[in-house]
Each structure stands twice: as C-alpha cells, then as structure tokens.
Chains A and B, each alone.
Chain A
Amino acid sequence: MKKLLLASAATALTAGAAFAAGHASEAKIGIILGFTGPIESITPAMADSAELAISEINESGNFLDGVMLAPARADSTCIDASAATAAAERLVSEGVVAIMGADCSGVTGAVLSNVAVPNGIPMVSPSATSPALSTAEDNGLFFRTAPSDARQGAVIAEILNEKGVSEVAVTYTNNDYGKGLADAFAQSFEEMGGTVTLSAPHDDGKADYSAEVGALASAGGEALMVFGYTDQGGKGMIQASYDTGAFDMYVMGDGMYGDTLFQEQAEALEGSIGTSPWAQGDGAEAFDTVATEAGVDASSSYTRESYDAAALIALAMMAGGEASSDAVAANLMSVANAPGEPILPGELGKALEILADGGEIDYVGASGVELIGPGEAAGSYRHYMIKDGAAETVEFK
C-alpha cells in the first residue's frame, strides 16, 4: 500500500512537472480596450481582430518551438484613467509579456506612464492618435499602428492649400484629441501661408452653440474646420452654423466621419470635405478575406490597426527568439519596416518561417504599416467630399 501511494505520488509529481513545462510555453498578450464607455460599440470588433492575428500565429505551429500565445482582455473604459491603470496592473500581475492597446489617447498615456514604463512592458496602440504621445517618456516601449494627428493636421492643411483656401476658422472638441488636432492643423496651415482667424473650442453635450458660431462667424474665413464628434458638439456646431448661414463649407476631422451625420445634414454639408484614416491596397483586401472567413466584422473602425498591432507583437517575439518583453521592444521596428519580404494578413505563418530561417520581413499588414519616428504609423488618409448626403472619395493621401 505504501509503495502504491509512493508510486502514485511520484506519478503525480512527474505529471505536475510535465504540466508546468507545458504551461511555461504559453505567453500572454494583454488586450486593453474600452469595452465599456464612449467607444464600446467599436471595441469588440477591434479585440476580435487582434485575437484573429493571435490565433493565426498559434495555428501556424511555427511560433518559437511550440509556444502558444494567449490573449487576456481588460477594460480601459476609454475615459477613466484610474480604471484603465488598475486594469493594466491586473494584466501585469497575470504575467502579460506585451500589451495591445490602449485605445483612447488619454487612457493610453496613463497606462504607458503608470504601468508599462515602470514594469518594462511594451505597448502597441491601434487607435490612440494624440500628437502628445509622440513625445511621451516611453523608454522605447510605446508603438502605435494608428497615425498621429500631427499627420492628419498636415494632410488637411495640404488639401486646403491645394484647393486655394487661405483663411479658415477652427472649432474643436474640448479634449486631448480636439486640441491636439487643432494645434497640429494650425501649425501646418500657417507654415503653408494660411491664416486661422479664430480657433475656438466647443464642449460636447451642451444646450446651445450659438455663442460659439457667432464668434467664429465674426472672425470669418472661407471654411469652418470642425474637429469634433459626429453625435456630439461637432454636429451641434455644424447645425447652428448652417442655420445662421455663418459658413458654407465645412472641413471635418476623422471624428466627424459618420453616415448618419452626412444624411441628416445633407443640405448643410453639400460640397464639404473631410479626412479619415483609411487603408487601401492588397493588405486591406487580404484582411477583408481573412476576417470574413473568421466571422470578424472587417469594416468596423480600427480593426485593421488592431490586427496589425497584435501581429507585430508576435512577429517581434519571433525575431527576438523568445517570448519576452525585451524581444518585443527591441525588434518591433525592424519587423514592421523594410528591408525584407513584404507580409500581408493571412501570411503570418510564412513570416514566422522566414524569421526562423534567419531572414528579414517587412510587415505590411492590413493597414500598410510603416512605422516612423518614435514608432508610430505614417498613416494614409482618405480625402472625401459630401455629395447628396454621402461621402465620395476624392483621393488618398
């Protein structure tokens, strides 16, 4: 009996050890997005896209001698910095190697400085666009597959310059995003010789916008730049401005892109223009195919950037030869950019093989990833014009 007990104990021990060995070959990637809060409608598709890339890596079987990647979701809330920090800390205590996220600029900055930097965990955000994050103290740990709004500001200024518009008034939503975009635009526009007659913020969800429109109309300009949100103050500003005939042309930032707005304000917006981040070409098409097969909504916002963020983390681990935070931080830029074999969505298995053989890859991905400066996407934008209540593409920039 004693022998039997010993034997079974020994068996249990070995089994436990074997289990532990199996367990050690799992690497966790945190996915921190605002599953509740203002952008809760788009985050599920974003998380699905990131997990799609992770499962593609796992299914290829080529990843780091059988190490399995496991996603771990957490809620950033988009607006509550302390809740996002607490969620990220929980991920760190669960042992995540890298973080895909966060989503909104404010919480992303908070998670970066409070959690990622102190713990040495790299972050890849798919959707934080504030220019301030380009210069944030990050110890080389912060990357984003979304372009900085500094780039969008320059693109909009360029479009206006080409159209021969030289004097505009600006209104922006009173937060990090609006202010960042308005400042970036004003800087580029003035460098090109344009004039901003007045740059006035508007608060979202307020009762009346006639005061703002009155001041902007007095300042004058050929067009009104609206850097706000479709269903918030941005809409209120356009409506109040149209009702008083203050401006005939509006130029909208990415936050204003929404079919409902275009339909409702069709008359006011006729002939107005706007920009929104847009991916085109082989990568976007390949992603559509992969995502549709897996039942993920590819047309939702920032799904491409999310897929790319998760894929880049995994590929950087592979290039570094280990599933560690250091490997991600050190190799992310090199797998994202040339030289090397271009990699599209659905080809992650092939990328792993090339890396395993010591080759180099240039991850193109769904959004045409090209990381510049401090590790952020160069970004391409769609310049659209409103015609009969719908957006028509003019060009890509």
Chain B
Amino acid sequence: MDFLNALVALSNFVLIPAVAYGSQLALGALGVTLIYGILRFSNFAHGDTMAFGTMTVILFTWLFQSWGISLGPLPTALLAIPFGIAATAVLVLATDRVVYRFYRAQKAKPVVFVIVSIGVMFIYNGLTRFVLGADDQRFADGERFIINVREFRELTGLSEGLGIKTTQGITVITAVIVVAVLFWFLNSTRTGKSMRAYSDNEDLALLSGINPERVVMVTWLIVAALITVAGTLYGLDKSYKPFTYFQLLLPIFASAIVGGLGSPLGAIAGGFVIAFSEVGITYAWKKVLGYLLPESLEPSGLVQLLATEYKFAVSFIILVAVLLFRPTGLFRGKSV
C-alpha cells in the first residue's frame, strides 16, 4: 500500500506534469529543429508565431462557441485547430515571401537570418497584441479532468490522489499522432525525402532537380501546423498569454539544442529531458520517501536536491554540459 502511495504521489506531481510539459516542448522544438535543418537558421520568432497561431485558434473557438458547436467532453479548440493552422500558414508563407526570400537569394549568413527573425518576432508580437491584446485569455471548455484527485482516492482507497486532466491526455495523444505522421512524411514520401536531401546537402539536392522553393514552402507549412498544435495544447493545459509564449522560446530552444539541432528525434528527446529535469530535480522527495522508508528512517527535512528557484539553472547546466561534451546534441544533429 505504501509503495502504491509513493508511486501515485510521484506520478501525480512529477511524472504526469512532466510528460505533458515535455510533449508541449517537443512539438515546439520540432518546429525549431525543422527550420534549423532546412532553412539553416535559429528562428527567434518561434514563440510569437505560436502566440499568433493560438490566437487564431482562440478566435475560431469563440466563434464556434457562439454558434453552439461543441465537442462534448473535449475542448472545442480541437475543432478550430485546422483553421488556426491555415491562418498561421498564410502568415509564415507571406513572411517568407516578403522577408526571408530576399535574404535567401542573397545567400545571407545564418546570423543575419537570426537577426531578421528577431525583427519578425517583434512584428508578430505587436500583431498579436493588436488583435487580441496582452491579457490572459481563457478558451478551454469541456470536461476538465479524466480523473480527479478526489475520485481517484475514493476509487482506490489510497491516501494519495492522482489527477489527470483532459488536456494532459489530449496533449500526449496528439503529440504521439503528430510525431508519427511527421516521421512517416519525412521517411516515406517523395516530398519528405527531398526535404531531407535538401537538409543534408543543398547543392547536391539542387543538382538532382529538387525545387528549393517547394521544399521551403512545405517546411513552413509543417512548421505552421506543429506550432499551432503546440501552442493550442499549451494554452488549453495552462493558459494563453502572449508574453508566456514569448518566454517559452527559452525552454524550446534548450530542448532542440540538447537533442541536437536538425534532428527531429533529438527534439522530442530534448523536450522530455528539459521537462523532467525542471520538474524532477527540484522535487522534494520527503513525501515519497516517507512512504517507502521504515518509520525510523523517515526524513525530517524536505530531501530536495535544489530549491525550485534553480529549476531554470538545471536545464541550462544540462545545455552547457551537452554543448561542451557533445556539441552536436544527444542525437547527432548539426553542431551550433
């Protein structure tokens, strides 16, 4: 019984939140890594593109809600995602046409692209605030929990409870589906293969007749989809505030770099490494150990490795360590 209680407490406070957060980071990092692999620059506008995509999803959700359309226990926002993806795709393709294509034609250095993307970031930033404002928005509806803590306690008779939110379930399931589709696309379709070829060696790819503009366009379309899905899942699970999305940029980049920039598998692994290190290393083990150890050995302190203030330090120490000892990241991406 004590062992089960320990397991449930650990799942409730560490495993489940970290898996959900990790999935959100992984989807974001996949977008960063695709842009880095194919367009060859670090896209600083990523967080704000995410905010824009989520904003359009929110607007469509509100529209559907006003029409009385709902998905029952599931959030209505899931219905609005395709429309959000379409709007985001239009935005990023227009940006590419007006801004990035100019620099691509000039064969500008990656650092120039990075600076350009910071400029784009500020414009997106203003665009989102202009349309929806800087405030918190709420758009989640449907059932909040798959199982909540109180029900779980009554059901199992354990003293610890376990809560799983609907949004956490949706996040993980959607992430698995999206990743599976992406890998199938990259590995088995002609367009996916040409994208990988373009990423591996641009000149050879051009020589073998791959149309670069088409590769770039498909990349942006995939990124728009990933980004909108990631942003919506995050907004459903936590809350929507443009500034928080801007702040998400940091853990997302950390995930992509730890995993290896340009490696899709690495982006996913990186997302989970960062999420688990943020939630796990600062966890106070008092409760769990209290169940596991005999009474005489029960800890009186919190048994916390690091105070929660240092959770960001943890992910950045991992980042620095990876860059020092394995600059290409865990999954052999491109070196930074």
B160 to chain A, nearest CB (A): 9
Stretch in contact with the other chain, from A206-214, A299-307, A321-329, A378-386 = A206-214
Is B283 within 8 A of A235, CB to CB? no
How many residue pairs link A and B with beta carbons under 8 A? The number is 97
Main secondary structure, interface of B, reads helix
Q: How large is the interface on B (under 10, 10 to 19, 20 to 34, 35 or more residues)?
A: 35 or more
- B149 neighbours in A (Cβ, 8 Å): 244-245
Is B302 within 8 A of A218, CB to CB? yes
State in angstroms the CA–CA spacing of A239 and B302 once bound together.
Answer: 23
Given A235-B239, A239-B239, A215 contacting B282 (CB threshold 8 A): yes
Residues of B1-39 whose CB lies within 8 A of A = 12-14, 17-18, 21
- A200 neighbours in B (Cβ, 8 Å): 307-309
- Cβ of B278 within 8 Å of any chain A Cβ, yes or no, is yes
Is B239 within 8 A of A210, CB to CB? no
- A239 neighbours in B (Cβ, 8 Å): 238-239
State in angstroms the CA–CA spacing of A213 and B17 once bound together.
Answer: 10
State in angstroms the CA–CA spacing of A336 and B19 once bound together.
Answer: 58
A210-237 interface bits toward B, Cβ cutoff 8 Å, 1 = contact, 0 = none: 1111110111100000000001000110
Is B286 within 8 A of A219, CB to CB? yes
B299-323 interface bits toward A, Cβ cutoff 8 Å, 1 = contact, 0 = none: 0001010011101000000000000
Is B13 within 8 A of A243, CB to CB? no
A132-155 interface bits toward B, Cβ cutoff 8 Å, 1 = contact, 0 = none: 000000000000000000000000
Count of chain A residues near B, Cβ 8 A: 30
Given A198-B302, A245-B12, A218 contacting B247 (CB threshold 8 A): no
Given A208-B21, A208-B278, A218 contacting B283 (CB threshold 8 A): yes
Is B283 within 8 A of A245, CB to CB? no
State in angstroms the CA–CA spacing of A208 and B136 once bound together.
Answer: 15
- B241 neighbours in A (Cβ, 8 Å): 205, 231
- Cβ of A368 within 8 Å of any chain B Cβ, yes or no, is no
Is A264 within 8 A of B308, CB to CB? no
Is B14 within 8 A of A214, CB to CB? yes
State in angstroms the CA–CA spacing of A357 and B135 once bound together.
Answer: 53
| A215-B307, A220-B287 known, 15 other contacts, Cβ within 8 Å | A200-B307, A207-B238, A207-B247, A208-B238, A210-B13, A215-B282, A218-B287, A219-B284, A219-B286, A219-B302, A235-B136, A235-B239, A236-B238, A243-B163, A245-B148
Binding site for B on A (CB under 8 A): 174, 198, 200-202, 205-208, 210-215, 217-220, 231, 235-236, 239-240, 243-246, 260, 264
